Amino acid sequence: MRAAICPGSFDPPTNGHLNIIERGIRIFDRLIVAVAVNMSKEPIFSAEERAAMLREIFANHPKIEIDFFDGLLAEYARKRKIHRILRGIRTMSDYEYEFQMALANKTLYPELEIIFLMTEGRYTHLSSSIIKDVVRHGGRAAEMIHPLVEQQLRAKLCRKEWA
């Protein structure tokens, strides 16, 4: 069985992420979407909340599993006995970052193969931070995120503003 891990912070998942995952399941028999528990950036959603959104969105996709990982991605892949990582690339700056990460991951786990999909043009400008900003300022994010994500993001940001 051809399995791969699609890791990310998904804070929150964008339509760009969903597009990579949907295209990924056409390539692999099984895709483990792995939510990073500890990130360099302070997340707005807990790992459980991020995973719950992805679980609901992909509830009808038996080939997709949603999981968490804490610590090194290479160690998680080794533990799961999966040696393929799927990532999306939007821009040249993504490329440089991904290139470094891929080399570091390969040093840690030489059997690992990192497969990149080019993000579709209509998603190249998207990022979780931009979307948070749009929603925070009352903009429409319908074309950028799944309706479930938009609803949760609005609820989260409104609660935060009043806290």
Active site members: 17, 41, 90, 128
Chosen residue from 27, 59, 104, 155 binding ligand COA by CB under 6 A: 104
12 prior amide bond cis, ω within 30: yes
Q: Of the two residues 124 and 154, which places its CB atom closer to ligand COA in the complex?
A: 124
How many residues at the interface with ligand COA, by CB under 6 A?
A: 23
Chosen residue from 4, 5, 6, 10 binding ligand COA by CB under 6 A: 10
Where does this chain touch ligand COA (CB under 6 A) — which range of 4-12, 47-55, 56-64, 150-158? 4-12
Q: Is 41:34 a contact under the CB 8 Å cutoff?
A: no
Report how far residue 146's alpha carbon sits from residue 163's, in angstroms, rounded to the nearest whole number: 26
Query: Does residue 72 bind ligand COA (CB under 6 A)?
Result: yes
**Residue number closest to ligand COA, CB atom:** 16
Beta carbon of residue 83, minimum distance to ligand COA (angstroms, whole number): 15
Binding string, 42-71, against ligand COA, x = CB under 6 A?
------------------------------
Beta carbon of residue 82, minimum distance to ligand COA (angstroms, whole number): 14
Beta carbon of residue 159, minimum distance to ligand COA (angstroms, whole number): 20
DSSP β-ladder status, 113-118 and 30-36: unpaired
Q: Is 42:132 a contact under the CB 8 Å cutoff?
A: no
**Contacting residues toward ligand COA, per CB under 6 A:** 7-11, 14, 16-17, 20, 36, 72-73, 88, 90, 101, 104-105, 119, 123, 126-129
